[in-house]
Amino acid sequence: MYTVEGDMDDGYVHPLGTGAVWQRSEFNDMNHASNGESLRQRGYNARETISGPREAQYQNWMDDLSQDENKPIKEFICPMKTKREIRKKQERMLAKKTGWDSWKEEKRRSFRKFRGKTSESLKYVEVWRSSLQNIEGHFGTGIQSYFHYLRFLVLMNFVTFLLVGGFIVIPSIVFNELKLDDTSGTTTTTDSAASNISQCLGYNPNPKGLVLYYTFIMDVLMGTGFMELTYMFYGYYKNTSVNLVGFFYNVPLAYLVTTLIYFLLSLVWMVIRSVKGFKQSLVKEDSAMTNYTNKVFGEWDFCMKDPKIIKLKKSSILYELKMDLEEEEMRRIHAQRTMAQRAGIYILRIVLNFIVYSLIGAAFYCIYLATSKSQEWLKEEKVKGDFILELLVGYMPSIVITAANFILPMIFNILIGFEKYTLIWQIRHTLFRCIFLRLVSLGMLLFSLWNNITCGGNIDEANCITCGYNSDIYKCWETRIGQEMYKLMIFDFLTVLVVILLVDFPRKMLIDHCSCKPIQLWGQQEFLVPQGVLDIIYGQTVCWIGTFFCPLLPLLNTVKYTIIFYMKRLTLFSNCRPALRTFRSSSANFFFLLVLLLGLALSWVPVLYSVFVIKPSVGCGPFRGQKTIWQTIPTTVLTFPKAAEEFFGFIGSQAFVIPLFILSCTLMFYLMALSSSYGKLVNTLKDHLQMERSRTILLNQIH
């Protein structure tokens, strides 16, 4: 297939080998082409010359192995003129082809065009496309990935809102307006005495007595009062079940099933997105092996037009290369450490890790305490009378969480410097600690709430025995959880706004107008992508946990993230400079989706626990009177025809679930074994390739 001339005349040389001189076969070959011959078979070879006449100086790197007839011409590796000639010849050949072949060709081409056109028109439907392109042009792909991520979450929240709104909120509103409620009757508890029911039932969020002037604002900010009696919170929904002619709608069932659906939808959507990133990171080698080449060849963003940004990019590349060279030095010194020094460093690391995790533990304890105390103090009279105090006490958990997430990472950054890790490990450790702090602090808040609601899991305690939950404090505990999530969301939003308005803008103004040394050294605000992404992951986890208890939360989250998008874009263009250390978007994309999946998994725990274990409030909500929220499903299944009931009964029973579980495990192990064997195969092939090349060099040297 390839004829080789020149020095290398022994044996077969790989077409992409080094320094081979190839023979060029002219375009005449195409004229002799008969039906069905691919370009490859026509011997489309490349000629490379070192220097030569004007025409031959242009090199043709013909990638024979992929020059298929089926490949579109635009992917051929030849100058435009050649491509046009090929196209003309293809047209002529097409005219010569008869019947089936030409029809097939035509269909293939028109399908390709159709696909191109649809993907092009789909691009116009993309929201904020021009913004993202603008950001990419000015600041590069790293920062653009943050906004890309934000847009993905906005879309996901919006879709969740559509689901929730369509299946839960709107039917409830409709049934309420049409007064179709209470067909399934009021609470029917069979396991409590009549007198006890009244204690569980006394749910009245309307304040008694004096209505103060600030009640409205307080209610909006805390989610209490009139807000509790809106479709915002779980407590307002009724257990209506409409059974008109031919139309059957069971609100509790819809509520439960919609929750499961949007959780599954989010999971599937994110898994699909992360698979793309995962594929890339599998193929990619260990970054230590390609560090410098990536910096030299893959770093420069050809999209950038702004000279200021280009200057910054050059400085950042310079900085990174210098850091890398320093790292090399440091690694060399590390390797030369003595045993005593090494032992010293390990001890230091253990001590510092101990400090870090004890700080984190202290933060968790503070959050736990803050949550319990805030629940207690809100009942007290002296707190209720004072606007500021009540607000502070109500928002105490949020304030403590945000403060911990603000202060502790700064301490981590300082401490990690002493641990003498290499740069990449420093980043990884800090990131891991921040993620751990954020997600588990949320878990602590929920744990504290659970403790209060279920009296520490002990149903037989004094407060919990009558209703199955702590009805002293919580007449409607689901709404209370919803309120806490609502408050967290609002506070997070306010924090972002306050930081942008009161920190970024004044800082920029100071730097512009005041030329004293310390301020200039402080410098412009850096747009830090990892922190920003962790923030929005945290917000999204809060939303997922809260949606079951506060169905309108996805809508609020959509609005919140949209506003944050615009505000961050504004602050990016007015105040920020790109970070000195480039954010490698491709590898991080997959990593952040992974963390988001972790957040989703975390959010399942409280929701599923509430659905399966805790007794729903007797006085409010669509599940009042049931033993558990999940009970809706078995009750509904019982109303199905016999065959369906038996089918569902079988699926739910152990006889089905356990074999299914075993089967899934087996499948998973099989896939893992398959993938590891593929990995081994890839490594073997790489070794073979290396060996081939060394062999040809040796042969070369012998001659």
Partner 1 sequence: MQPCTMWNLCAAGKTESCELPGSEKVYLLKQDCTFFTRKEILRLHARFYELAPNMVPMDYTNDPEVRLPLQLIINMPELVENPFKERIVQAFSEDGEGNLSFNDFVDMFSVMSEMAPRELKAIYAFKIYDFNTDNFICKSDLEQTLNKLTREELEAEEVTLVCEKVIEEADMDGDGKLAFADFENMISKAPDFLSTFHIRI
Choose, by CB under 8 A, the member of 571, 585, 603, 626 that binds partner 1: 585
d(CA 61, CA 30) in angstroms, rounded, equals 18
Give kind and range of the element (H or E) at residue 634. Answer: helix 632-638
Residue 577 interacts with partner 1 (CB under 8 A): yes or no: no
Residue 303 interacts with partner 1 (CB under 8 A): yes or no: yes
- Minimum Å gap between C-beta 81 and partner 1 is 5
Q: Which stretch binds partner 1 (CB under 8 A): 15-23, 234-242, 421-429, 496-504?
A: 15-23
DSSP class of 242? E
**Cα–Cα separations (whole angstroms), residue 444 to 288, 361, 374, 398, 479:** 38, 10, 14, 12, 19
Give kind and range of the element (H or E) at residue 197. Answer: helix 194-201
Choose, by CB under 8 A, the member of 129, 640, 694, 699 that binds partner 1: 694
Total residues interacting with partner 1, rule: CB under 8 A: 77
Nearer of residues 456 and 679 to partner 1, judged by Cβ:
679
Nearer of residues 174 and 691 to partner 1, judged by Cβ:
691
- Minimum Å gap between C-beta 348 and partner 1 is 30
Residue 81 interacts with partner 1 (CB under 8 A): yes or no: yes
Choose, by CB under 8 A, the member of 174, 268, 318, 498 that binds partner 1: 318
Residues in region 21-80 near partner 1 by CB under 8 A? 48, 50-51, 54, 57-59, 61, 63, 66, 72-75, 77, 79-80
Residue 6 interacts with partner 1 (CB under 8 A): yes or no: no
Secondary structure of residue 249 in the 3-state scheme: strand
What radius of gyration do the chain's Cα atoms show? 33
Residue 361 interacts with partner 1 (CB under 8 A): yes or no: no
Residues 6+ apart with CB under 8 A from 75: none
Residue 297 interacts with partner 1 (CB under 8 A): yes or no: yes
Residue 110 interacts with partner 1 (CB under 8 A): yes or no: no
- Minimum Å gap between C-beta 166 and partner 1 is 36
* Secondary structure (DSSP) of 3-68: -EESS--SS---TT-SS-EE----THHHHT--TT--TTTTT------SS-STTTTS-----GGG--
- Minimum Å gap between C-beta 328 and partner 1 is 8
Q: Which stretch binds partner 1 (CB under 8 A): 33-41, 299-307, 481-489, 622-630?
A: 299-307
Residues in region 165-204 near partner 1 by CB under 8 A? none
Q: Report the 10 Å Cβ neighbour count for 280.
A: 13
x/- mask, partner 1, residues 263-292, rule CB under 8 A, reads -----------------xx-xxx---xxxx
Choose, by CB under 8 A, the member of 64, 181, 299, 535 that binds partner 1: 299
Backbone angles phi, psi at 22, to 5 degrees: -105, 165
**Cα–Cα separations (whole angstroms), residue 87 to 92, 206, 567:** 9, 77, 49
d(CA 436, CA 434) in angstroms, rounded, equals 5
Q: Is the Cβ–Cβ distance between 569 and 151 less than 8 Å? A: no
x/- mask, partner 1, residues 607-646, rule CB under 8 A, reads ----------------------------------------
Nearer of residues 300 and 377 to partner 1, judged by Cβ:
300
Of the CA atoms within 13 Å of residue 419, those in its CB half-sphere come to 24
**Cα–Cα separations (whole angstroms), residue 374 to 259, 290, 473, 485:** 29, 53, 12, 14
Nearer of residues 299 and 535 to partner 1, judged by Cβ:
299
Residue 296 interacts with partner 1 (CB under 8 A): yes or no: yes
* Secondary structure (DSSP) of 327-353: HHHHHHHHHT--HHHHHHHHHHHHHHH
- Minimum Å gap between C-beta 38 and partner 1 is 17
Residues in region 673-692 near partner 1 by CB under 8 A? 689-690
- Minimum Å gap between C-beta 697 and partner 1 is 5
Pairing of strands 248-250, 241-243: antiparallel
Residue 574 interacts with partner 1 (CB under 8 A): yes or no: no
Q: Is the Cβ–Cβ distance between 234 and 548 less than 8 Å? A: yes
Q: Which stretch binds partner 1 (CB under 8 A): 100-108, 116-124, 617-625, 651-659?
A: 116-124
Q: Report the 10 Å Cβ neighbour count for 570.
A: 13
Choose, by CB under 8 A, the member of 180, 584, 608, 637 that binds partner 1: 584
Buried b (16+ CB within 10 A) or exposed e, 674-690: eeeeeeeeeeeeeeeee
x/- mask, partner 1, residues 228-267, rule CB under 8 A, reads ----------------------------------------
Nearer of residues 329 and 646 to partner 1, judged by Cβ:
329
Choose, by CB under 8 A, the member of 104, 108, 314, 680 that binds partner 1: 314
Nearer of residues 30 and 449 to partner 1, judged by Cβ:
30
Nearer of residues 72 and 166 to partner 1, judged by Cβ:
72
Pairing of strands 4-5, 525-527: unpaired
Buried b (16+ CB within 10 A) or exposed e, 487-513: bbbbbbbebbeeebeeebeebbeebee
Residue 451 interacts with partner 1 (CB under 8 A): yes or no: no
Q: Which stretch binds partner 1 (CB under 8 A): 16-24, 235-243, 593-601, 616-624?
A: 16-24
- Minimum Å gap between C-beta 308 and partner 1 is 10
d(CA 236, CA 479) in angstroms, rounded, equals 9
Give the angle subtended at the CA of 189 by the CAs of 188 and 191, to the nearest 5°: 155
Q: Is the Cβ–Cβ distance between 42 and 33 less than 8 Å? A: yes
Residue 586 interacts with partner 1 (CB under 8 A): yes or no: yes
Choose, by CB under 8 A, the member of 95, 177, 302, 513 that binds partner 1: 302
Residues in region 131-160 near partner 1 by CB under 8 A? 133, 136-137, 140-141
Residue 294 interacts with partner 1 (CB under 8 A): yes or no: yes
Residue 11 interacts with partner 1 (CB under 8 A): yes or no: no
